[in-house]
Amino acid sequence: MSTFRPGVLPSLVVLALFPLLIGLGCWQLARAEEKRELLAAHEAQRLAAPISLSDLERHADPAYVRVRLHGYFDAAHSVLLDNRIRAGQAGVEVLQPFYDQASGLWLLLNRGWLPWPDRRIPITFTTPDTPLGLTASVYVPLGEAFQLQQVAATSAWPRLITEVKPDALWQQLGRGGLSYEVRLEPGPASFQSDWPVVAMSPDKHLGYAVQWFALAAALLGLFIYLGLSNARETRHEPSHRPA
């Protein structure tokens, strides 16, 4: 061990940071694989034929399952999902209760994104007032969304929200409804409805993993260099022992 003397403090730093950096890199690899599986599942569902809401109950995982609907909108109880940014432009997503006549269920249908550049001016939009046949897909979020702000409760409609909670709306309105947000596919009743499947691509996760592993390799290389350098300096120190 006389050829390797890194010192106590550097050794403790490496023992603390090296496993952390490796763990972060492995976590990013796992996230990349999770996103690949999610994208593959979404593509498979996108190519599948839409089913009825009654058949949806037999799906163990309803995420991204396409459903066919026939019914009408409730224009009086719209909600606006705030803080939605598209191409650097601020806006909202418009969600409205929709009654599916075949199943007798209400569902919260996301019609898509609208720009809202000036918040001093109330946003306006139109709602079809006749029964429609529509196709949509069930959206199940991966986790709790990061909230930029809390919007104060109000009795006015449409209501501004920061998180979609269909069950809370059905309880408030006294209706039986689907517990998931349903996103409308492009068509006559939709606004801009090109939602990204994932916020971060698998390739970006792989890039972050490479960065963490590179930092771990740099830390280890610096530790080895320091240990060898200190050992050389120790060997070259003059001896002060008496003759």
pLDDT tens digits for range 23-67:
999 999 998 888 888 788 777 777 778 888 888 877 777 888 888
Sign of torsion over alpha carbons 44, 45, 50, 53 = positive
pLDDT tens digits for range 110-158:
999 999 988 888 888 999 989 999 999 888 876 554 444 444 445 688 8
Q: Domain map of the chain by residue range?
A: 8-35+202-234, 65-184
Q: Give the range among 78-87, 116-125, 148-157, 182-191 with minimum mean pLDDT.
A: 148-157
Please tell me whether the overall predicted TM-score, pTM, comes out greater than 0.85 for this model: no
Query: Residue 89 pairs with which residues in a beta bridge?
Result: 86
Look up residue 137 and give its amino acid.
S
Which of the two residues, 236 and 14, has the higher pLDDT score?
Answer: 14
The span from the CA of 173 to the CA of 77, in Å, is 9
pLDDT at 229: 77
pLDDT tens digits for range 198-213:
667 888 899 999 999 9
8-state DSSP, 185: P
The span from the CA of 100 to the CA of 209, in Å, is 45
Share of the chain above pLDDT 70, in %: 86
Q: What is the mean pLDDT of residues 55-83?
A: 87
Share of the chain above pLDDT 90, in %: 31
The span from the CA of 201 to the CA of 206, in Å, is 9
pLDDT at 237: 57
Q: What is the mean pLDDT of residues 184-188?
A: 87
The span from the CA of 7 to the CA of 27, in Å, is 30
Count the neighbouring beta carbons within 10 Å of the beta carbon of residue 133: 9
Cis peptide before 238 (omega within 30 of 0): no
pLDDT at 2: 62
